[in-house]
Amino acid sequence: QVQLVQSGAEVKKPGASVKVSCKASGYTFTSYGISWVRQAPGQGLEWMGWISAYNGNTNYAQKLQGRVTMTTDTSTSTAYMELRSLRSDDTAVYYCARTISSVGATYFDYWGQGTLVTVSS
Amino acid sequence: EIVMTQSPATLSVSPGERATLSCRASQSVSSNLAWYQQKPGQAPRLLIYGASTRATGIPARFSGSGSGTEFTLTISSLQSEDFAVYYCQQYNNWPPLFTFGPGTKVDIK
């Protein structure tokens, strides 16, 4: 069965960086993209960006351009999201999600369990 | 950038009743709209994609409709496990990006 398993919770100081991993299993990793979505405490869902596991192409949300980098390691079927220059408002649960792209429908069909990143001095 | 709105923010419904949730896009997204359910402490779960296609394993009481800018998620007879927050999501081809609505919380009346 399809599974996305994320790395554990992180506590970081303002200005630091965090790198969250997402290990995929149960499907051909390079056949799908991975998106990252975050959710601040008590808030809604915010799309951060997408990476093609096939060729490494990326699209990032404009507000995070320059601070976020998404990569994949096809040898281990793992996706990574690195966020730099952390601020207190980056405190959130970060999710990875398998991304389906088809004609007329692009969506997230499987999600990781989430990784809580806390930014605090 | 396409802005998504959802109404109402909170919907109070009795078990067994019908729930109708609305999602509006600031410009046409054709049928490129999905719905997700999220319970406290859990990751979102895909319910509907392509505006009206149920995802694998989703009960038939969930249905989606609409196209263009107006979309609806209907839960025909609410079960106890359906009380949750529901988000709509659109995908824009150019610039390529996803946008979520702010969510509708369905709670027990």
Smallest Cβ–Cβ distance between B87 and the set A44, A59, A100 belongs to A44
Q: Which residues of A touch B36 (CB under 8 A)?
A: 45, 108
**B43: which chain A residues are within 8 Å (Cβ-Cβ)?**
95, 111-114
Optimal mutation site among B91, B99, B100, interface A, most CBs of chain A within 10 A? B91
Contact B97, B83 (CB under 8 A): no
pLDDT in tens, A29-85: 999 999 999 999 999 999 999 999 999 999 999 999 999 999 999 999 999 999 999
> Shortest Cα distance from A40 to chain B (angstroms)?
12
pLDDT at residue A104 tops 80: no
Set of chain A residues whose Cβ sits within 8 Å of the Cβ of B50? 104-105
> Average pLDDT over chain B, rounded to whole?
94
Over residues B46-69, the mean pLDDT reads 97
Query: CA angle A57-A59-A60, nearest 5°?
Result: 140
Give the pLDDT band of residue A106 (cuts 50, 70, 90). Answer: confident
**Residues A102-116, mean pLDDT to the nearest whole number:** 91
Residues from chain A that touch B44, judged by Cβ atoms under 8 A, are 37, 45, 95, 97, 108, 111
In this prediction, residues A99-109 reach a mean pLDDT of 86
Which pLDDT tens digit goes with each residue over B13-31? 999 999 999 999 999 999 9
The nearest CA of chain B is from the CA of A45 a distance in Å of: 6
> Does the CB of A3 have a partner CB in chain B at under 8 Å?
no
Reported confidence tier of residue A103, pLDDT bands at 50, 70, 90: confident
Residues 6+ apart with CB under 8 A from B95: A59
Other CB atoms within a 10 A radius of the CB of residue A81 amount to: 26
Q: DSSP letter for B93, please.
A: T
Residue whose tokens read 């107006």 = B70
Query: Are the C-beta atoms of A34 and A27 separated by less than 8 Å?
Result: no
pLDDT at residue number B94: 62
Can you tell me the distance from the alpha carbon of B1 to that of A45, in angstroms, rounded to the nearest whole number?
A: 16
What is the percent of chain A where pLDDT is above 90? 95
Give the pLDDT confidence score for residue A101 in this predicted structure: 85
CA distance A101 to chain B (A): 10
Asked if B43 and A113 count as a contact pair (C-beta separation under 8 A), the reply is yes
Asked if the C-beta of A36 comes within 8 angstroms of chain B's C-beta atoms, the answer is no
Q: How far apart are CA B43 and CA A38, in angstroms?
A: 10
Instruction: Label residue A105 by pLDDT band (50, 70, 90).
Output: confident
> Is the per-residue pLDDT at B51 higher than 80?
yes
Quote the minimal CA–CA distance from B109 to chain A in Å: 21
